[in-house]
């Protein structure tokens, strides 16, 4: 049994509330070291001030439309494109849980191009969202998996907005 099989089994035994709260916070804190390391590398090679490459492009704007889009629109669309469709396709093709999770995480991170500084962090978040989707699907079916994952994503973005407002970078 792979790490991802174990994670899916463990998370599938959690309540909805625990899945949503724990994984949304976990995604927030696990992505940070990867984003910081990538930014450090970009700075070392002289590309840190490039707005397109910098993770600073992913720092949410707490004002009106950006807030609404980041909390309500992006999670719904990105969950469909990066978790639901790739995971269901991988399952039809009989991919392993590991391959399915990594495929979904790859799609999720690629949705955040051209911001290279954010890709490793987005990949980590994508892994967590894929695990949530698979765990919820295992316990409650694909519709519940979609709603649970979109909610985790939305709450994760909400936390990011709040942290950005409280701790401006």
Structure tokens that stand for 117 in this block: 């500084």
pLDDT classification of 118: cutoffs 50, 70, 90: confident
Q: First-to-last CA distance in the chain?
A: 41
pLDDT classification of 57: cutoffs 50, 70, 90: low
Residue with the two structure tokens 């696990």: 30
pLDDT classification of 140: cutoffs 50, 70, 90: very high
Q: Over the chain, what is the mean pLDDT? A: 87
> How far apart are alpha carbons 30 and 93 in whole angstroms?
30
Tell me which of 22 and 118 has the higher pLDDT.
22
Residue 137, domain extent: 3-166
Element (H, E) at 159: helix 142-166
Q: pLDDT digits over 8-20, tens only?
A: 999 999 998 999 9
pTM of the complete model: 0.88
Contacts of 45 (CB under 8 A, 6+ apart): none
Per the structure, the count of domains in the chain is 1
């Amino acid at each position: 049994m792979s790490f991802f099989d174990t994670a899916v089994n463990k998370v599938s035994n959690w309540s909805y509330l625990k899945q949503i709260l724990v994984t949304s916070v976990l995604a927030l804190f696990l992505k940070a070291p990867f984003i910081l390391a990538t930014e450090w590398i970009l700075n070392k090679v002289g590309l840190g001030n490039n707005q397109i490459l910098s993770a600073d492009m992913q720092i949410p704007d707490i004002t009106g439309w950006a807030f609404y889009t980041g909390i309500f629109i992006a999670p719904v669309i990105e969950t469909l494109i990066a978790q639901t469709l790739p995971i269901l396709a991988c399952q039809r093709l009989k991919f392993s849980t590991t391959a399915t999770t990594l495929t979904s995480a790859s799609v999720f991170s690629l949705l955040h191009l051209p911001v290279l500084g954010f890709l490793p962090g987005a990949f980590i978040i994508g892994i967590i969202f894929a695990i949530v989707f698979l765990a919820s699907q295992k316990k409650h079916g694909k519709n519940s998996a979609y709603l649970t994952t979109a909610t985790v994503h939305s709450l994760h973005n909400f936390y990011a907005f709040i942290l950005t407002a409280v701790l401006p970078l």
